[in-house]
Amino acid sequence: MNISQTRQALNELELRPDKSKGQNFLVNPLAVRRIVNALGEVSGTVLEIGPGLGALTNGLVRAGHNLSAIELSEPMSEWLKREYPGVGLVTGDFLSVDPRSIPGYPFSAVASNLPYNISSQTVFTLCEPQFDEVEKAVLMFQKEMATRLACLDGGRNYGRLSLLVWPWFTVEKLFDLNPGDFMPRPNVDSSVVILKRRKDMLLNRDEYAIFARIVRAAFSGRRKKVINCLTRVFGKTDSMAMLEAANIDPDLRAERIEPEKFAELAGKAKV
85-125, pLDDT tens digit by residue? Answer: 999 999 999 999 999 999 999 999 999 999 888 999 999 99
CB burial of residue 205 (10 Å; 0-12, 13-18, 19+): exposed
User: In the predicted model, what is the mean pLDDT of the chain?
Assistant: 95
213-238, pLDDT tens digit by residue? Answer: 999 999 999 889 999 999 999 999 99
Q: Name the E strands within 87-242.
A: 88-91, 109-113, 136-142, 169-177, 182-183, 190-197
Q: What is the pLDDT of residue 227?
A: 97
Q: Is the pLDDT of residue 199 over 70?
A: yes
Say what percent of the chain tops pLDDT 90.
93
Contact 21, 115 (CB under 8 A): yes
Q: Is the pLDDT of residue 22 over 90?
A: no
User: Per-residue pLDDT averaged across 142-161, rounded?
Assistant: 96
Q: What is the pLDDT of residue 19?
A: 78
How far apart are alpha carbons 19 and 40 in whole angstroms?
Answer: 31
How far apart are alpha carbons 45 and 161 in whole angstroms?
Answer: 27
Q: Is the pLDDT of residue 271 over 90?
A: no
End-to-end CA distance of the chain: 52
**Domains, the chain, ordered by start:** 3-197 (3.40.50.150), 205-268 (1.10.8.100)
CB burial of residue 265 (10 Å; 0-12, 13-18, 19+): buried
Say what percent of the chain tops pLDDT 70.
99
Q: What is the pLDDT of residue 20?
A: 78
Helices 259-268 and 205-218: crossing angle, nearest 10°? 110
Q: What is the pLDDT of residue 270?
A: 63
Reported as a pLDDT band with limits 50, 70 and 90, residue 18 is confident
* Of 263, 158, 250, residue with least CA distance to 211: 263
Stated as kind and residue range, the H or E segment containing 73 is none
